[in-house]
Structure 1
Amino acid sequence: MTDDPVHRTTPQRPTAVRQNPTLLVDAGQVTDAVRHADSGAFGKTLGDSTYVWRSGVGVTANGDIVTVHGNALSVKTLAQLLQQAGSVRAMQLDINRDWTSYVYYDHRGGLKAKKLTPDQVRTPTRYLGTSTRDFVSVRSR
């Protein structure tokens, strides 16, 4: 043991982290922030357009992960799609098609990276090396 008062034998780990602090769906309902969204509430778009490429992720009541992405979506449409897919909590991710990625990493028999949908622009191995872009990670226990 050490005399250091901040030493811990059990590391403190976050249980949840969100990229966007403003939720699209909370407690199964589209939030007021979505109903009254101005262009800056969910990120700036090129030309301050309402209908652009958007992506989002949600979690259902039983813990399943739901993803939605597509072109010409408003914040409201994205939120409604996530809600209709069963999300009880959901947030927006990227609003640029070039950066949207959903990647599955399989560690059985060596690391394999796969795109979850074929329409993604980036390679599925993009996060196996250095990157300046942020990402969200979901791991099974």
Structure 2
Amino acid sequence: MLLSVGVGVTALTATSGAATSRVARGISTPAPVCQKVTASKTTCVTWSVRDTWAGHGPVVALLDFHPLGQPAGVVAYAGWIRTAATILGLYPGYEGPGVTTQPRGPEAVPSSGIGRLLATFNSGFYEHDAAAGFYTNHTLYFPMVKGLATVVRYTNGTVGITQWAGGPNPGPTVLMARQNLPLLVDNSVATPATANDFAWGLTLYGAPAVWRSALGIDKNGNLIYAAAPAQTAASMAAIMVQLHSVRAMELDINPEWPIFVTYAGPGARSPSLDVANPNQIPNRFLYSSTKDFFAVFLSRHPGEAQPW
């Protein structure tokens, strides 16, 4: 939804096109993405609530927009996740994140969580492409690497994106941790490393601008996923900054992988492919998946174990 305003606005709309949602005070909502058109006019794109059936205020919201300064026709797709109401689960696929002797688990959204499933989205690189830590369901598949960007879910129910400063083991306060490359955004600005595209993964045909995805966190501790075609590391970082990420990390790249799916009702009813990537299908992750992935569930209490 586009709004032309003189000052910043915060609004949420239902995906059906209904009137702006009224949100109870104290519940986090995502900030609109605003761009200055003229000296006196700012155009804002607002988020649409996807999971109205969940009944917990805005939990997952969607937005697509033309990124500032990018060629005409480029569209970025974003998903916002309210962490206070959700569980961020991490699941190995039957190949990703890499070769391991550890049990891989369901390799798909587990049946024990499908009634509370809100969204699924892609994870990061294979281990053989970029060594990185991977910890979930009390199992360390690959040791943590100091200095890498890491999404962490803690036992108190909060989620963080940080530059890992600890050792190879996550520690007792960590429920889930997934690393991938250095931070893409830190302190709300692109990191200097984004100037070197060679540091951000091998691309299809060696092209610098390809499909990329990233995961950020806003000032309120909520998650922001984004994916877009024709992106360099620097331009993807700029998208995450436009989406109000305080910190962000790159996830998977190239056309085969970026995906974000939401569901029209409990039980993974009517999955919707919310990133317009023609290489994806909406029911991916409901069946055995090649690569590891994230799943978002409604939470019953802070710090509960992810469905398995």
Q: CA–CA distance in 1 between the matches of 2:221 and 2:183?
A: 17
Task: Say if 2:179 is the partner of 1:22.
Answer: no
* Identical positions, percent: 36
More strand by share: 2
TM-score by length of 2: 0.37
Q: How far does residue 60 in structure 1 lie from its aligned partner after superposition?
A: 0.7
Q: How far does residue 43 in structure 1 lie from its aligned partner after superposition?
A: 0.7
Q: How far does residue 30 in structure 1 lie from its aligned partner after superposition?
A: 1.2
Task: Say if 2:255 is the partner of 1:135.
Answer: no
Q: What does 1:30-45 correspond to in 2, within 5 Å?
A: 30-35=190-195, 37-39=196-198, 41-45=199-203
Q: CA–CA distance in 2 between the matches of 1:28 and 1:139?
A: 27
Q: CA–CA distance in 1 between the matches of 2:173 and 2:288?
A: 23
| Cα distance change, pair 23–120 in 1 and its aligned pair in 2 (3 A) | farther
Could you say which structure has the greater relative contact order, defined with CA pairs below 8 angstroms and 6 or more residues apart? 2
> Which residue of 2 is the match for residue 88 of structure 1?
246
Q: CA–CA distance in 2 between the matches of 1:13 and 1:122?
A: 35
> Which residue of 2 is the match for residue 126 of structure 1?
284
Q: What does 1:5-20 correspond to in 2, within 5 Å?
A: 14-20=174-180
Q: CA–CA distance in 2 between the matches of 1:119 and 1:131?
A: 17
8 Å CA contact 2:217–2:245 kept in 1: the answer is yes
Give the number of equivalent residue pairs.
128
CA RMSD of aligned residues (A): 2.5
Task: Say if 2:279 is the partner of 1:104.
Answer: no
> Which residue of 2 is the match for residue 70 of structure 1?
228
Question: Residue 212 of structure 2: SS of its match in structure 1?
Answer: strand
More helix by share: 1
| Cα distance change, pair 88–15 in 1 and its aligned pair in 2 (3 A) | farther
Q: CA–CA distance in 2 between the matches of 1:13 and 1:120?
A: 39
8 Å CA contact 2:183–2:191 kept in 1: the answer is yes
Q: How far does residue 74 in structure 1 lie from its aligned partner after superposition?
A: 0.8
Once structures 1 and 2 are overlaid, which stretch shifts more, 76-85 or 61-70?
Answer: 61-70
Task: Say if 2:205 is the partner of 1:47.
Answer: yes
TM-score by length of 1: 0.74
8 Å CA contact 2:188–2:246 kept in 1: the answer is yes
